[in-house]
Amino acid sequence: MKHLVVDGGDIIKELKLPAGPVIGKLLKKTLEWVMVDIKKRNTKKEIYGFWGTQMKYIK
C-alpha cells in the first residue's frame, strides 16, 4: 500500500484496533477509496475521516 500516507500502524494507533486481518481489510478499502481522488483524499485528515465512516463495518 505504498500509495497511502498511512499504514497498518496508523490504524492500530488511531482506531485502537488489535493487529489482525481487519487491518489489512481496512487498508484495502482505504486504498480503493483514496484512488478515486488521490490528490484530495491521500492525507491523514481525509483518511481518518473515512475511517470514521467505516467503524460500523469493523469488528
Q: How many domains does the chain have?
A: 1
- 40: containing domain: 8-57
In a domain, 1, yes or no: no
In a domain, 40, yes or no: yes
pTM of the model: 0.90
Neighbours of 46 (CB within 10 A): 15
The answer to whether the Cα torsion of 37, 42, 48, 51 is positive or negative is positive
In a domain, 12, yes or no: yes
Question: Does the pLDDT of residue 1 top 70, yes or no?
Answer: no
The pLDDT tens digits of the residues spanning 9-54 come to 999 999 999 999 999 999 999 999 999 999 999 999 999 999 999 9
The pLDDT tens digits of the residues spanning 35-46 come to 999 999 999 999
